[in-house]
Structure formats: structure tokens, C-alpha cells
Amino acid sequence: MKYLSRKQKFVYTGLLAIFTVLTVAFFRNNNLLNLSILSLCSVLMMMIDGNKHIVRLFFAGFILGPLAEAVCIHFGAWQYTETFVLGFPIYLPFVWGNAAILFKRLTFYTE
């Protein structure tokens, strides 16, 4: 979707980010549904730019965000009621990946 303007990319990313948060809020007890919806949101967010840099950024957030949370969970900063690996829910890496893309777009749009 390289034909989208900066503003359109920002709006679509913002809507998908809101949808990401609402998905986690409303379906937090259904890991499979969360995982399915969030992976779809992630693919759509990456397709907005359609370049390898945004994919790398997504996977950096996908890996580093949950690892940082795992450290905090290990030391007792917080805990999740529904956990899967390293003390966090299975869908959490997708949330972090989507957040990384959103922050990139926020900085790009505000330049």
C-alpha cells in the first residue's frame, strides 16, 4: 500500500492500534482469539508500508518488548493471570510489535 499518504498511513495505523488495545481488553481470557485478531492486525500494519524495515521493526518489538516484560515479571514488578511463556500471555509479542510500528509512525508523522 505504498500509494497511501503519510496522513492516511498514520490514521490507518492509529485505528489498528486502537483495535489492538480493544482486542486485548475485550478478549483477554481467550488467547486463541486474541492471537488470531492481533496477528491479523500486525500483518495489516506491516502491509501499510510494505517494506522490510517496518517488518524488522515489528520483530524487534515482538522480541524485545516481551523479553523486557519477562525480566520485570521475574523480579516481581507485576504478573499476568493468563500466562503462557516466561510469565506473559502468548499474544503479548504481537501487541509489542504493533506498538513499535505505531511509535515509528508517530515519530514520522510529527517530524
Q: pLDDT tens digits for 2-13? A: 688 888 888 999
C-alpha–C-alpha distance, residues 13 and 84, integer Å: 28
Across 66-85, average pLDDT: 87
Give the predicted TM-score (pTM) of the model.
0.89
Q: What cell numbers appear for 13 in the block?
A: 495505523
Please state, in angstroms and as integers, the Cα–Cα distance from residue 81 to each residue in 1, 62, 64, 69, following that order: 38, 21, 21, 14
Predicted local confidence at residue 58, as pLDDT: 96
Contact indicator for 102, 87 with CB cutoff of 8 Å: no
For residue 74, pLDDT beyond 70? yes
Across 74-95, average pLDDT: 86
C-alpha–C-alpha distance, residues 98 and 96, integer Å: 5
